[in-house]
Structure 1
Amino acid sequence: MKYKTMLTKILSKKELADIDVKIIKEDGILLDDLRRRNYILVVDWSGECEENELFNFFNNRVTSLSGKKLNILSGDVYKSFNETFTNPKKGDFLPFALNYFNEQLKSLGFRIVLLDMGNDAYYLLVASKNNANKLTKVKSDFWKFKELSFQNKTPLYVANCPKCGNIQFFGLDTDIEEKDLAGKCCSDCGTLFWDEDGNEMVNIEKYY
């Protein structure tokens, strides 16, 4: 994996120059470094850790990449969310907010890109429209990028592993078809959630 080729698609020239990619030999080390530098934001499915966390991240990234700023105020997303949801449930805010910010970014020529780490958190990046498309074509077992998509055509699947207690979400950031659930298992202990034919092997909760 040529890290520099990938990083040119998500970092400014100045940011890229500050990272000595030649000494980085492991994917996990690079990911940790990108998180530490706030080039990637990780947010739990249940919501922000602090107010304006998403706004600050997206505004800072688009400013670093283009010198532009979001054309909204930091509190606008909360106002819009409260006007849309009368009885919001835990987990409703993130999909709404990410769609909201993605539309703002699109008006500036950028997109939200997700790094799929196979858990219940959102790993968020910002890239230009052209680079976002290129990132989704990166061939890597670790760096699995995809553009944001909440189409609400399929449910969110929640599997509570009966062996180790790990809770995993499927279809959290993008729709997932039932056929794609075949063979999915617990990321911690390997307990099979669906067999190779797509039959449920443990109790699976579905949220629409």
Structure 2
Amino acid sequence: MKTAAFSYVLSVSEQQNLPTEGFSNEDTLNYLLDRQFLLQIDWKGESYLNEIGSFLQQRAITFKTEATFDFTAAYKMANDQAVTPGDFIPALLKALNHELKNKGLEIVQLDLSNDSYYIGVMEKSKQIKKASDEFWRFKPWGSQTGEVLYTVYCSCGSMNVWQLKMGESLSDDSCQECGTVIFDSEGNSIFKVSKDYI
């Protein structure tokens, strides 16, 4: 029987205590989030200071009792590299993943095709991508292309999408449907801008 992809982000004892009978994928996801086996983070940033670092530290200890690390440098690096608020989380996860890999662990992301990041920790040797399915689409952090998909809904209702390399900025761009300015010459927008790191 194929191992469920989400089981790779659980320790052996957590897997044994998982009540999966009669659970839908959504029920299982809520269970994993409620028990902090996975962490959901909005693209805009953490809900409280060091939220991601604390989560990763706790999960690292679950897998390897001695796996403590100092995430101060990773936070400083992410703050220095983030050009816009949406850049902070990817930069932080990249820096923290480097720390985890030194302990034989790595960050994985569950792709649910929305504005949030769903992250977990697993041992580096696990083949989570091969176990992924239509709902449980996991990939190791850092396997992205290094590009950003920007999506903006104009006031006319039209969806506008741009795909750029990370670090490139949008400026002087208008709605493809009605011509309304979406990004001004400084790269600012009055519209909500959704970013997906791909």
Q: Match of 2:125, SS?
A: helix
Quote the residue 2:95 is aligned against: 100
- The CA distance in 1 between the partners of 2:15 and 2:162, in whole Å, is 33
Q: Which of 38, 62, 66 is matched with 2:36 structurally? A: 38
Quote the residue 2:64 is aligned against: 66
Residues 5 and 132, structure 2, Cα contact 8 Å, conserved in 1:
no
- The CA distance in 2 between the partners of 1:168 and 1:50, in whole Å, is 32
Quote the residue 2:75 is aligned against: 78
Residues 113 and 127, structure 1, Cα contact 8 Å, conserved in 2:
yes
Quote the offset at 1:17 in angstroms: 2.2
Higher relative contact order at CA 8 Å, sep ≥6: structure 1 or structure 2? 2
Deviations 1:160-193 (A, max 9, x none): 2358969898879x98xxxxxxxxxxxxxxxxxx
Task: Flag structure 2 segments of 5+ consecutive residues without an equivalent.
Answer: 167-175, 184-192
For residues 124 and 56 of structure 1, do their structure 2 counterparts lie closer, same or farther at Cα, with a shift above 3 Å needed?
same
Name the structure with the higher strand share.
2
Deviations 1:35-92 (A, max 9, x none): 00000001011111100101111000010112133321x433333334x34x842112
* TM norm structure 2: 0.72
The residue type paired with residue 78 of structure 1 is Y
Quote the residue 1:178 is aligned against: none
For residues 153 and 11 of structure 1, do their structure 2 counterparts lie closer, same or farther at Cα, with a shift above 3 Å needed?
closer
Q: Match of 1:9, SS?
A: helix
- The CA distance in 2 between the partners of 1:61 and 1:14, in whole Å, is 13
Q: Match of 2:149, SS?
A: strand
Q: How does 1:126-165 map to 2 (within 5 A)?
A: 126-131=121-126, 134-149=127-142, 153-154=146-147, 156-162=148-154
- The CA distance in 1 between the partners of 2:178 and 2:59, in whole Å, is 41
For residues 70 and 32 of structure 1, do their structure 2 counterparts lie closer, same or farther at Cα, with a shift above 3 Å needed?
same
Quote the offset at 1:145 in angstroms: 0.9
Percent identity (aligned)? 28
* TM norm structure 1: 0.69
Quote the offset at 1:124 in angstroms: 0.1
Q: How many residues are treated as equivalent by the alignment? A: 175
